[in-house]
Amino acid sequence: MRSPKDFFSPLALGAPEPLREIPFRPSRMIHFFDPSNEKMRSKIDTIAPKVDVLLGNLEDAVAADNKDAARAGLVEVGKAWSTSETQLWTRVNSLDSPWFLDDVMTLVSEIGENLDVIMVPKVEGPEDIHYVDQLLAQLEARAGLAEPILVHAILETAQGVANVESICGASPRMQGLSLGPADLAADRRMKTTRVGGGHPGYLVRQDPEEGANDEARATYQQDLWHYTLARMVDACGAHGILPFYGPFGDIADTVACEDQFRNAYLLGCVGAWSLHPVQIDIAKKVFSPEPSEVAWAMRVIDEMGDGTGAVMIDGKMQDDATVKQCHVVVNLARELAAKDPDLASEYGF
Ligand code: GLV
Ligand code: MG
So where are the chain's domains? Answer: 4-287, 293-347
Cβ(156) – ligand 1 distance below 6 Å: yes
Which bound ligand lies closest to the C-alpha atom of 249? 1
Pure H helices in 172-315: 181-188, 226-239, 254-267, 277-286, 291-303
In ligand 1, the atom with minimum distance to the C-alpha of 156 is 4
Please write the tens of the pLDDT for every residue from 131-183: 999 999 999 999 999 999 999 999 999 999 999 999 999 999 999 999 999 99
126 CA to middle of ligand 2, Å?
18
Q: What are the φ and ψ backbone dihedral angles of 174, each rounded to 5 degrees?
A: -65, 115
Distance CA 292, CA 123 (A): 39
Low-confidence ranges of the chain (pLDDT < 50): none
Q: What is the residue with the minimal CA distance to atom 3 of ligand 1?
A: 180
Which bound ligand lies closest to the C-alpha atom of 32? 1
In ligand 1, the atom with minimum distance to the C-alpha of 179 is 5
Q: What are the φ and ψ backbone dihedral angles of 119, each rounded to 5 degrees?
A: -90, 125
166 CA to middle of ligand 1, Å?
20
Helix (H) or strand (E) holding 317: strand 316-318
Cβ(160) – ligand 1 distance below 6 Å: no
185 CA to middle of ligand 2, Å?
10
154 CA to middle of ligand 2, Å?
7
178 CA to middle of ligand 1, Å?
9
> Would you state the pLDDT for residue 2?
78
Cβ(180) – ligand 1 distance below 6 Å: yes
Contacts within 8 Å (CB) and 24+ apart, 253-260: 253/197, 254/278, 254/279, 254/282, 256/197, 256/198, 257/197, 257/282, 258/282, 258/285, 258/286, 260/196, 260/197, 260/198, 260/225
**CATH 3.20.20.60 holds for 4-287:** yes
Closest CA to 223 of 245, 251, 253, 252: 245
Cβ(247) – ligand 1 distance below 6 Å: yes
157 CA to middle of ligand 2, Å?
9
